[in-house]
Chain A
């Protein structure tokens, strides 16, 4: 099946620094990638939808200047948490949707293993 990887799997950083998280589709092309945030023992919250070659679409309440998303190629999207603070500590999960398919069909999303961010 399709594989999505994330790097790093766990990062600890100091307050005020920026952290970049990579999401890669390893064996398929993904025009669309999604970034989710998961708080402990809670469900996934969609942060933004990232389309290759265009600006990301952010969900209401998500600061686009704080969570910078770049989808530079069909296999890579990055999320940069700028000036991180302890409240940004969370589990960040990306998912990718395959390029192929006919209009009107539901595409399956493939999820990465997640990145645990701890801001001290």
Chain B
């Protein structure tokens, strides 16, 4: 079946530190992979996505590369800001399972000045 495993938080970093949030997946077929961000009290916002192996999704300084050989989609940012404090969800979606989304448990990030 399909599933997503995410690095457990919470993660606390100082401003301008390097961020990595690990995400691995299990899927039957060839899923698309997503990172969503949820700010306090708000819904989910798409951060970036990749639809096939070796694709790199990027947005707002965040990057993630679809690694089929390691079934991973780790989120990285070179220099975090206080405004990046949020919960980050890794997710996959595969058309051969009805386009249902499977979410990881979320990783809470707090960036301190």
Chain B interface residues toward A at CB < 8 A: 31-32, 36, 41-46, 49, 51, 89, 93-95, 98-101, 103-106, 108
Q: Which residues of A are found within 8 Å of B94, using beta-carbon distances? A: 106
- Asked if B106 contacts A42 (CB within 8 A), the reply is yes
Residue contact A49 to B100, C-beta cutoff 8 Å = yes
Contact partner of B42 (CB less than 8 A), chosen from A34, A41, A97, A113, is A113
Interfacial chain B residues near A108, Cβ < 8 Å: 46, 49
- Where the two chains meet, the residues of A that have a C-beta atom closer than 8 Å to any C-beta of B are 6, 32, 34, 41-44, 46, 49, 93, 95, 97, 104-114, 116
B44 partner, pick from A41, A97, A104, A111, beta carbons under 8 A: A111
21 CB contacts below 8 A, A to B, read: A32-B99, A41-B106, A42-B106, A44-B89, A46-B101, A49-B98, A93-B43, A93-B44, A97-B99, A105-B95, A106-B32, A106-B99, A108-B46, A109-B101, A111-B36, A111-B43, A111-B45, A111-B46, A112-B43, A113-B43, A114-B43
Query: A106-B32, A106-B94 given as contacts; is B105 within 8 A of A43 (CB)?
Result: yes
Residue of A nearest to B96 (CB): A104
Residues of B within 8 A of A93 (CB): 43-44
A109 surroundings in chain B (CB, below 8 A): 93, 101
Chain A residue with the shortest CB-CB distance to B100: A46
A34 to chain B, nearest CB (A): 7
- Determine the distance from Cα of A3 to Cα of B4 in the docked complex, in whole angstroms: 26
Instruction: Output the least CB separation between A28 and chain B (Å).
Output: 15
Minimum C-beta distance from B9 to chain A (A): 9
* Given A49-B100, A97-B99, A105-B95, A43 and B44 contact (CB-CB distance below 8 Å): no
